[in-house]
Amino acid sequence: MADVLVTNGRVITQNGDRDVIEDGALAITGERIEAVGHTAEIVADYDAARVVDADGGAVIPGLINAHTHVSDIVLRGGAFAADRGLYDWLYNVKRPGSVAMMPDEHAVAASLYCLEAIQSGVTTFVENDTEVVWDTPETIEAKLDIYETSGIRNVYGAGFADSPPDEAFEALLADYQIRNADTEHPPADHFSIDTDRAIRETERLIERYHGSAEGRQSIWPTPIVLASSSARGLREAYQLAEEHDVQTTMHIAEAEVEEADAGLSSIEYLRNVGYLGERTLLGHCVQIDASDVRLLAESGTSVAHNFMANMRLATGFAPVVEMLDAGVTVGLGTDNANLNDTVNPLSDVRAVASAHKGYHRDPGVVPAQTALDMVTIDGARAIGRADDLGSLEAGKLADVAIVDLDHPHLTPCPDPVHALVYAAQGFEVETVLCAGELVMDGRDVRSFGDPAAIMRDAAAVGADVVERVGIE
């Protein structure tokens, strides 16, 4: 006896052999997959209270978004965020807007984010919260409460900046902010926090929230960027991850010039201070060379490739092909919602699988299977969860998405992996289960109220924040 059967699907297992089972099925008991096989076999062996008919759709592991930001989703859709470089966008749009938001506004943003993520087939996302003001934990709590309600998994990266900005950085910041002098900018040291307190507050969050929501919530220590992180803060963030059996993440090598010291690359510096390792997930890694790639591979450090954000900010192509060739685990992140402008991994994976071919002038790099791996099994490896997420196998957690293949743009479909990567756009996801629970059925997200109301609230919050802060 099982609790749920998923039947009549094209099951893309993402197992070690990357088996695709035509007319396949899953038997789910509790929060885990009990069996995977052909529909006739599963139906003969199991009865269940609920049967979900995939009706020929692609049954895939729930997608994993390995690097994202949530609150700025209400700041998207406007020309004020477009056609800016990294620091111009960050310090004139994203940061001023996010800092000005109240806890209830962050909750509205989190609701919209989760609604879109679920409708895109996402069952796990890693939020890098880089605007944490530790004196006001209500903002963190407001978002985590929404994530618990959502029914999907979240990793909350509690960002901290324990190295105050120096005079050179403050001068650089002023040069960028003068473009929008009337915008209400937070001071350069707005997020600064003592190292001891940063580690203590992060540990408090881990002890309170990690493993909550029936195991769906995780907390990671998250130094924000190299420029605002001390060597001790980096080292103790990794040690804290070890102590609590979690991971740690940060942004690295995104800007064109980011060196720890003359002649020392950012990756070498992280190696030297003890931050590289199997518990580390680095976002971006655009400005790195062959030596850095080798260090990532040797240390077992994973990377979140934020392709669309890098393209929109014109920061360049991360050497993903070289990383993959070296054996580095690479997941995919949609990054900032007001920059991408979606939180839809299937949309991004299509671009990743295509653009790297053009950049390298080699049609064989990043094949469709590799691209799908980035948002499933390799995404799970990148966040340290390959033992229970990222593939449809007996014993793994039942995080599942069903993609309707009955669309003109997906017809014909002899190879569903090819179709998912090169043709699907994300809106075709019909059903989502997380830990065996039905989160979305027929595009109806069950964990929230009226989607139209969420969208109205988010639009109102976004307009109010833009006006209040003077973003233009």
Q: Do domains 2-61+396-445 and 63-382 have the same CATH topology?
A: no
Cα dist from 235 to 133, 245, 248, 251, 408, whole Å: 22, 15, 11, 15, 52
Q: Are strands 400-403 and 429-434 parallel, antiparallel or unpaired?
A: antiparallel
Closest CA relative to residue 32, chosen from 415, 406, 391 = 391
- Rounded Cα distance between 156 and 357, Å, is 33
Domain spanning 63-382, CATH class? alpha beta
pLDDT of res. 261: 59
- Rounded Cα distance between 448 and 451, Å, is 7
| Residue bearing tokens 């027929």 | 442
Judged on CB neighbours under 10 Å (0-12, 13-18, 19+), 113 is buried
Average pLDDT of the chain to the nearest whole number: 96
- Rounded Cα distance between 349 and 421, Å, is 6
Sketch the domain layout of the chain as residue ranges.
Answer: 2-61+396-445, 63-382
Closest CA relative to residue 97, chosen from 337, 277, 434, 329 = 337
- Dihedral, CA atoms, 434, 98, 187, 282, nearest 10 degrees? 30
Q: Are strands 20-29 and 32-38 parallel, antiparallel or unpaired?
A: antiparallel
The residue ranges of DSSP E strands in 363-399, in sequence order, are: none
The number of beta carbons lying within 10 Å of the beta carbon of residue 286 is: 23
| Residue bearing tokens 């089972």 | 21
- Rounded Cα distance between 352 and 421, Å, is 9
pLDDT tens sequence across 61-107: 999 999 999 999 999 999 999 999 999 999 999 999 999 999 999 99
Q: Which residues of the chain are modeled with pLDDT < 70?
A: 257-262
DSSP 257-284: --EEETTEEHHHHHHHHT--STTEEEEE
H or E element, residue 58: strand 58-61
- Topology of domain 2-61+396-445, CATH: Urease, subunit C; domain 1 (2.30.40)
DSSP 111-167: HHHHHHHHHTTEEEEEEEE----TT-THHHHHHHHHHHHH-SEEEEEEEEB-S---H
pLDDT of res. 257: 60
| Residue bearing tokens 């997930």 | 281
Contacts of 85 (CB under 8 A, 6+ apart): 313, 314
The rounded Cα 38 to chain-centroid distance in angstroms is 32
- Tokens linked to 374: 């980035």
Q: How many helices (H) and strands (E) does the chain have?
A: 19, 20
State the distance between the two ends of the chain, measured CA to CA, in whole angstroms.
59
CB 466 within 8 Å of CB 78: yes
pLDDT of res. 169: 85
* DSSP designation for 255: S
pLDDT tens sequence across 444-471: 999 998 999 999 999 999 999 999 999 9
Look at phi and psi of residue 2 and say left if phi exceeds 0, alpha if psi is from -120 to 50, else beta: beta
Contacts of 315 (CB under 8 A, 6+ apart): 86, 254, 255, 256, 284, 286, 287
- Tokens linked to 92: 């004139």
pTM for the full model? 0.97
**Size (the chain), residues:** 472
